Amino acid sequence: MPPQHSDDWSSLWAEFESLRTAVARVKAVNINSASLRESARDFVQRYFRTARSTSSVSDADLQDLDAQLQRLLFLANGRNPKQYYSQVLRQLQKARSAVDIARVRVLGAPAASSTATASGLETAIASTLEGIVPSAASSYRQALRDLQDASRLSYRGPASELRESLRELLDHLAPDKDVLKSPGFRLERDRTTPTMKQKVRFVLSSRGLGKTALETPEASVARIDEALGTLTRSVYNRGSLSTHVAATRTEVLHLKTYVEGVLAELLQVHARS
């Protein structure tokens, strides 16, 4: 049975989605509704009183989230413009995504034992992928299984599976032909097809996310390419097999963190354990 703190964290953000929807529906210039402002205050208080202490990440990882919630509380204590609420809620979504990536780092790395159980985020990603692109779900599950196998002599396979799961999802959500004809699109130098970063931008922009909200997933895609390059080079730079295996597994676990961060954003699922 999942621990109570997992429910606290996931239900907190379900409350956030309700709050964001309620703010979006307001037609007035200012948020004058006493009940809506009270809901915002309750959300902030719930975070600081309960959910924050069970987030499983460091104070440093929560710094931006703390600041945005304090801004929200300030707004809710008076009658302030809707546009200010919208700005803070967008920043909260960005800060929340960064914390979820940190939670994956803390909670999502599978144990060395082959009997390790999947984290809530892993389960959510795999099950959601299964309903959209089954082959991508298979690649992702294979990577999880391989990373749990402490007897492996190479971890290049799970690295490829992780990247393939993301590539297949992006090809499904952002077909080349759609990205190529999107307004203002330009191929990167020496490319004949859109990059993964461009596809991520296409998908999230189509959902109405602004430039700031795109920064974290786009940076994660850049880290994925960087991590894969490092992994490939390391194959030729290490002489000791035992050193190579241990180091490459660590590198693939880092790669997994970034891939899961992007998958979670694209699939709109978040850490639940």
> What pLDDT is stored for residue 99 in this prediction?
83
Residue 273 lies in a domain: no
Range of the domain at 103: 4-107
Report the half-sphere exposure of 131 (CA within 13 A, side-chain side): 6
> What pLDDT is stored for residue 109 in this prediction?
46
166 and 91: one domain? no
Final residue of a domain: which of 107, 125, 148?
Answer: 107
pLDDT tens-place string over residues 79-131: 899 999 999 999 998 888 888 777 776 654 444 433 445 677 888 899 899 99
> What pLDDT is stored for residue 83 in this prediction?
94
8 and 68: one domain? yes
Tell me the Cα Rg of the chain: 20
Q: What CA–CA distance (Å, rounded) separates 62 from 90?
A: 16
Contacts (Cβ under 8 Å, ≥6 apart) of 8: 50, 51, 54
77 and 192: one domain? no
Whole-number Cα distances in Å, 244 to 61, 147, 254: 30, 15, 15
Q: What CA–CA distance (Å, rounded) separates 273 from 260?
A: 14
Find the length of the chain.
273
Final residue of a domain: which of 85, 107, 129?
Answer: 107
To the nearest 10 degrees (0 to 180), the angle between helices 196-206 and 211-237 is 160
125 and 190: one domain? yes
50 and 131: one domain? no
Low pLDDT (below 50) residues in the chain: 1-6, 108-116, 235-244, 272-273
Looking at the structure of the chain, the number of domains it has is 2
> What pLDDT is stored for residue 219 in this prediction?
81
Residue 173 lies in a domain: yes
